Amino acid sequence: MLRNKIKKIAGVALLSVTIIGISGTVQANANNWQDTNFTFNFNNSQKYTAARPKTDTSKLYMKCESITPNTSYTAHAIGCTSASSSDRVDCSKGNSYSFSKAGDAHYMTSWVKEWNYGYARIAGNPNYGYSFSASGKWSPDNKAGL
């Protein structure tokens, strides 16, 4: 009789640990991967996306959906301490990505989270010294887990 009670208690404990483990896994994968629109109106100067919370160490994602013909820009990861802060720290370690046509998309390496910045943004730099625009979508984390 005592042996059966111990088995039941052990079974309930094992089931509880399993359920908690599954719940923790789902929560850990629930990162900030939803895409947000961006527009860069370049006028011979660097532009930035809005800052968004960076919740994990996955790569940033950017997809160019529209760009002025015969132009291009490069982009890299930026870290900052809050959504409204003016601090902009290059967290790319030299990794930059080129966008020259609609459909160009990149998973962008960053060290935003590793360097303890709570927010990420992307800096875009025009490759030409005149005015043009580019727009698309970006996210600070990615659901692919890259």
Q: Answer yes or no: do 76 and 6 share one domain.
A: no
Residue 144 in any domain: the answer is no
Domain that holds residue 22: 1-30
Closest CA relative to residue 49, chosen from 111, 99, 132, 121: 121
Report pLDDT for 146: 78
Residue 145 in any domain: the answer is no
Q: Answer yes or no: do 15 and 50 share one domain.
A: no
Residue 49 in any domain: the answer is yes
Q: Return the DSSP state at 124.
A: E
Query: Model pTM greater than 0.85?
Result: no
Residue 5 in any domain: the answer is yes
Question: Which has the minimum average pLDDT: 1-15, 22-36, 80-94, 105-119?
Answer: 1-15
Distance CA 56, CA 123 (A): 19
pLDDT digits 0-9 by tens, 118-138: 999 999 999 987 899 999 999
Q: Answer yes or no: do 24 and 88 share one domain.
A: no
Per the structure, the count of domains in the chain is 2
Report pLDDT for 86: 83
Q: Answer yes or no: do 25 and 86 share one domain.
A: no
Whether 49 contacts 125, CB under 8 Å: no
Residue 146 in any domain: the answer is no
Q: Answer yes or no: do 19 and 46 share one domain.
A: no
Q: Is the pLDDT of residue 61 over 80?
A: yes
Q: Answer yes or no: do 123 and 58 share one domain.
A: yes
Q: Answer yes or no: do 24 and 80 share one domain.
A: no
Report pLDDT for 29: 46
Residue 79 in any domain: the answer is yes
What is the share, in percent, of the chain residues with pLDDT greater than 90?
70
Q: What are the residues whose beta carbons fall under 8 Å from the beta carbon of 47, sequence distance 6 or more?
A: 40, 41, 123, 124
Whether 110 contacts 92, CB under 8 Å: yes
Whether 57 contacts 114, CB under 8 Å: yes
The CATH number given to whatever domain includes residue 68 is: 2.60.120
Q: Answer yes or no: do 52 and 25 share one domain.
A: no
Instruction: Share the mean pLDDT of the chain.
Output: 85
Q: Answer yes or no: do 25 and 68 share one domain.
A: no
Q: Answer yes or no: do 61 and 8 share one domain.
A: no
pLDDT digits 0-9 by tens, 14-32: 444 444 443 443 344 448 8
Q: Confidence band (pLDDT; 50, 70, 90) for 71? A: very high
